[in-house]
Amino acid sequence: CFYQIYPKNWREKKLIFGVKNREEFQQGETAQTTDKIYAKYRGQADGAIMKLVDNAWAGFGSAFGPVILLSLFWKRMTYKGAIAGVVGGAVMDVAWRILMTGEHPMLAGTAFYNIFGTVYEIVPGFLFGLCCIVAVSLIDKAPSQDVIAIYEKATAAGDDD
C-alpha cells in the first residue's frame, strides 16, 4: 500500500502509506489519509487520531463544562469549588477511560461493566465534576456580598425587556 508522489515543484519523491492513487490523495481526503499514515506508523488500527480527538473533547467537557455552566447560573459557586470541579471532572474522565472504555477495560466482565460499559466518559466526568463543585462550594464559606452584587449586575444586564 505504498504510493510514490512526484509533485511538479518538488525535487524529491514522497512515499505515502495507505493511499491507493494520486487522485485519492488530491481529492481532499487528507485527514483520513493522515490518520491512516499515523496509524500505520504507530502500529495502531485506523482511526487512532479520531480516538485521540474524542478523548481530548471528553476531557475538556468533563473538566470545564460544569465550571462554565455553574459560573453562569449559580451565584454560590466558589473559587475552591471551581478548582475541585476541574480536577474531579478530569480525574473521573481518565479513570472511566481506563476502567470502562479503553482498549482493554479493567472492569470488563463485571456486572458494573455490563450495565455502564458503553457510557461515553464525558457523562460520568461531567456529573462527578458537578458534584465536586456543589459539595466544595457548600462546604466553603459563601461569597461576599460584593461578589454577589457583581454577579447580580452581570446577570441582570441582559434583562432589559
- For 131-146, give one letter per residue: b (16+ CB within 10 A) or e: bbbbebbeeeeebeee
Q: Is the pLDDT of residue 25 over 60?
A: no
Segment 54-62 shows an average pLDDT of 89
The chain-wide mean pLDDT, for the chain, equals: 77
Q: Give the per-residue pLDDT at 68.
A: 95
Task: Work out the average pLDDT over 20-44.
Answer: 56
**Torsions phi, psi of 15, nearest 5?**
-100, 130
pLDDT of residue 155: 80
pTM: 0.67
Handedness of CA 54, 59, 64, 70 (dihedral sign): positive
pLDDT value at 50 more than 60: yes
pLDDT tens-digit profile of 61-111?
999 999 999 998 898 999 999 999 999 999 999 988 888 876 677 777 788
Question: Which stretch of DSSP H or E encloses residue 15?
Answer: strand 14-17
42-51, 81-90, 116-125, 139-148: least confident range: 42-51
- Copy the grid coordinates of residue 135: 459539595
